[in-house]
Structure 1
Amino acid sequence: MPTKAPFTDLPGLRAALDVLPQPDSIAREAASARNGALTKPPAALGRLEDLAIWYAGWRGEARPRLDEPQVIIFAGNHGVAAKGVSAFPIEVTVQMVANFEAGGAAINQLAKAFGARMDIVSLDLDRPTADFTEGPAMSEGEFVAAMAAGWEAVDPAAGLLVTGEMGIGNTTAAAAIAAALHGGGAEAWVGRGSGVDDAGLGRKRAVVDAGLARHAGRLGDPLEVLRCLGGREIAAMAGAMLAARHHRVPVILDGFICCAAAAVLEAAAPGALDHCVAGHVSAEGAHALLLQKIGKTPLLNLGLRLGEGSGAALAIGVLKGAIACHSGMATFGEAGVSEA
């Protein structure tokens, strides 16, 4: 069952980032030794071998199984959407949440295909965040509450976590976060998101640059970056990833918006994403750059740009394959096969 967040204010949240559990080194070493004895040439399974060993270390088992993956979709609305930065009105957020709940979205099908439990967390959809060109997107209380909602949505017994999102305007917020953390301004980070035309792209860039200028004095603190420029669903994804680290639940990262949330954690506490792998690189132009900044190599490159956790959910199959080979294959000794 999900657990209560161990923080109720910003100092408590910072404390949760200060002490991060590490993988089980004994299990990792045992998994590496097992990998070296399996009936295959060395490194013949490529990245699948590294994935299995990584997973074994976080689960504390040399021969793990991947049971009960959890997909959580967080939904929030953005005040900055009123600036015309999206091809869709904010009412679509509520409509898509209803679609998730009815089982009709792409993420529902992918979660089902890979045996994942799917949860949906709506965050004050009738109360969008503030327009970040005019002030902070969230008060400290709202920000901490969103982070806590993310934490409390995670099942500590899950074998894996995927976080997805729904929120009209959230590629604008994600671009602003990425620019604040890594520089380059709107030009480097703003893409077409849900499909804006050239005029919409220009508005998005102007909005991001205005937000960066408005909050320039706060952008040295990654948590303030997220509070001032982000959204409730982005903060909740960060809170869920932080909870997963404390529960030693491995995470597959999704696209640009998910990785913007993850980038905040990495900037606030280097190494905070050691329990995460990148599921895919999306067609949103700046996602590849953001993956480089957080040091993650994607498992898949399929031109996806849907969000919802869809690319990460698809990558569950890759991780399941890695673990199935690692834990199910025979060793040379077990199979009676001579080693070279």
Structure 2
Amino acid sequence: MADFVVEARTDFSNDVSKQPVLEVRDLVVRFERADGVVHAVNGVDFAVRPGEWLGIIGESGSGKSVTLMSILGLLGEGGRVIRGNAWFNGVDLVQLSDRQLRTVRGKDIGVVFQNLAEGFNPYLPIGSQIAEVLVNHRLCTRRTAHRRVIEFMHELGIADAKARFQQYPHELSGGMRQRAMIASAIVSEPKVIFADEPTTALDSTVQMQVLALLTDICRKRGTAVVMVTHDLGVAAHTCDRIVVMYGGVVMEEAPIDEFLQFPTHPYTLGLRAASFDPEQPDRPLRPIPGVAPVLLEAPRGCPFAPRCHMATTVCRERLPALRQTRPEHRVACHHVQGENEHEPYPIP
């Protein structure tokens, strides 16, 4: 788990006035493959408010990245949204054509991709690619765009930004390329940023620096962030709220402090047990037994049941609904107790 300090989180616990800037409801995504249909996302719900950091965590294959890419219309071959809504500024993004979505992507919703190699065209200078975001959306002239990009690059800690503006992606270090990608995502002053494993390819020191920069610049501007990560330490230090996904389903959702103090779903507890805790450096790591499902069939019961030490017959036969266990804390488990009766499960 990463161990670093960022600017204080925004307190949303008593702020009911802030309406969601993005609200996803009952999102279902399928991929058609030669060997069958992959049920990648199965009824996902979440919302994010202005200035809030929402972390989506889970193992590889849990549907985290697919959820974000489906909202942006970037699923690729074979992928399609079967049902659901993604409300943004009063518009359902799921219903928009690709041409209409292009007016949203990069302008109102910025994206920080996981793969640095895919984030930039290797044949064009970094600065001009970032400037194209402003020019293509007709936010300013090309000359003004160049000036603003250099200012953003400097703000993000890119030394000698004017010279870096002219360099090609391969001429920058991984940390500098990631800073440039963040500049590309935020230069248009979007309302929301999707950050898909934004620091996975970086070493721990650079990871801390980049996350601190991204956190600082977004909080100053009131930009909401939806961040996909498998790292509980990163989520704990940056996010206001957490959504845990497994098998294309939301297992648990809670404000970060509540999540850390009262983790409830057996899968969440398994993730905690398998993650390094800097406050307990001598605690042995305990991996979750079994493997993640392939999802070539729609989950009949809880997708985690085959790996869960708490599973009973009802878990294997019926998919549990998200139930509120505490204020703003929801858990999808047949064995969870109701509000005011909350007791966290023991770690197996």
Q: TM-score, normalised by structure 2?
A: 0.26
Q: TM-score, normalised by structure 1?
A: 0.27
Q: Judging by fraction of residues, say which structure has more helix.
A: 1
Q: Judging by fraction of residues, say which structure has more strand.
A: 2
